[in-house]
Amino acid sequence: MVFRSTAWVRSLATALGTVLVQISISVTPGHSLELGLPLQCQLGETCWVVNYVDLDPGKGFKDHACTSFGYDGHKGTDFAIRDLKVMAAGVPVIAADGGVVRGVRDGMADVDVSETGRANINGRECGNGVVIAHEGGWETQYCHMRKDSVRVKKGTRVTRGQQLGLVGHSGLAQFPHVHISVRQGKTVVDPFTANSPGQGCGKGKESLWRPDVADQLKSPPGAIFNAGFAARSPSAKAVRAGLYRDDVLSRQAPVLVLWADMYWPLVGDQLRMRIFGPDGKIMFEHKKNIPKTQARRFFFAGKKRKPLFWPAGAYRGEITLLRKNSTGQVRTFSEVRRVTLK
């Protein structure tokens, strides 16, 4: 939902109709729930997993893999899209499995809750959303949909993949995404392990995701989800609104800046940003070690123009993030962007 841990999660639990209880639930092979993705997208290309379910019943956060990709009290899995411009174009939210619509809310504005304040959404933290009842006492809930986009009504029977609405930015949200919560009765369930809070991490019974989806979700969160060039120092807010996406810039631009927006850069990761000129040679390079783990971080670096004009032609930008784990294995995140200066 949001990237920082706050007391808001207590009211969020009420809004989602859940109660955090430290009990065990029994999920056996052959359970009736098999979840597909809750939105139409290509994982790793047009959508990204950002936050997992919190399986730590106390203060702090532990997800199904005993890592910390989320925040205290988070009760679902967040799938984010690139920016507000993509949101405005429309990304369908779809039923992860078939069932009957139990509840609907629509009509809430798509705004950043950090700007408007929690008081404006008190008791409606889910924003525009849909709850679906499934066989076996299962429930899924889809939150933060776009205003006036919900297409189903209470009592409607839906099939897996049927459109429910559009990805939005309503309720307790700081970025456009869909939050899917899974419950059995009133108990929150992690779809990766079928564990409930208090049952621990690192092991589980059986994934609730369909096998093809579970395979796509094996990699932990982390991505360079947006990048580009700019002729001035860009702001994160402007980039996340969908600006600075030009593929042609002026040769008289005072600076040439390469920017990148990332999910979950971790402390100790190594970031490298390079710009190659029309001759194919490196004309700018910036390196740094990430000093702090953050769920979302915006970076930019560039070079001032010294001659009267930049050389005409095609420029290439490369952003690379290197992550070394405790066994010495390296995971690489990389993106390439191009721009023409005329």
- One DSSP character per residue, 144-205 reads EEPTT-----TT-EE-TT-EEEEBB-BSS-SSSEEEEEEEETTEE--TTT---TTS-SS--S
CB-CB neighbours of 1 under 10 Å: 28
The answer, yes or no, to whether residue 11 has pLDDT greater than 70, is no
Per-residue model confidence as pLDDT tens digits over 36-53: 999 999 999 999 999 999
Per-residue model confidence as pLDDT tens digits over 58-77: 888 999 999 999 999 999 99
Three-state DSSP at 140 gives strand
pLDDT score at 84:
97
57 compared with 152, residue with greater pLDDT: 152
User: How many angstroms separate the CA atoms of 337 and 320, rounded?
Assistant: 12
Against a cut of 0.85, is the pTM above it?
yes
Phi, psi torsion values for 317, nearest 5 degrees: -115, 135
| Long-range residue pairs from 154-159, CB within 8 A, at least 24 positions apart, any chain | 154/101, 154/102, 154/103, 154/104, 155/100, 155/101, 156/100, 156/101, 157/98, 157/99, 157/100, 157/101, 158/95, 158/98, 158/99, 158/100, 158/101, 158/132, 159/95, 159/98
Per-residue model confidence as pLDDT tens digits over 110-139: 999 988 888 889 889 999 999 999 999 999
Per-residue model confidence as pLDDT tens digits over 290-318: 999 999 999 999 999 999 999 999 999 99
- Domains by residue range for the chain, with CATH: 8-23+32-216 (2.70.70.10), 223-341 (2.60.40.2550)
DSSP state letter for 1 = -
User: How many angstroms separate the CA atoms of 196 and 187, rounded?
Assistant: 7
pLDDT score at 253:
97
Q: Which two tokens stand for residue 308?
A: 């009267």
Alpha-carbon separation of residue 265 from 203, 226, 289 (angstroms): 25, 13, 10
pLDDT score at 17:
41
Q: What is the CA radius of gyration of the chain?
A: 21
Terminal C-alpha separation, the chain = 42
Confidence class for position 28, pLDDT limits 50, 70, 90 = very low
Confidence class for position 31, pLDDT limits 50, 70, 90 = low
pLDDT score at 206:
86
**What is the distance, to the nearest Å, from the Cα of residue 41 to the centroid of all Cα atoms in its chain?**
12
Q: Which two tokens stand for residue 51?
A: 């936050």
User: How many angstroms separate the CA atoms of 332 and 324, rounded?
Assistant: 9
pLDDT score at 26:
39
pLDDT score at 10:
37
Task: Decide the pairing of beta strands 255-263 and 223-230.
Answer: antiparallel
Per-residue model confidence as pLDDT tens digits over 74-105: 999 999 999 999 999 999 999 999 999 999 99
- One DSSP character per residue, 5-27 reads --THHHHHHHHTT----------
For residues 115 and 213, is the Cβ–Cβ distance under 8 A? no
User: How many angstroms separate the CA atoms of 211 and 209, rounded?
Assistant: 6
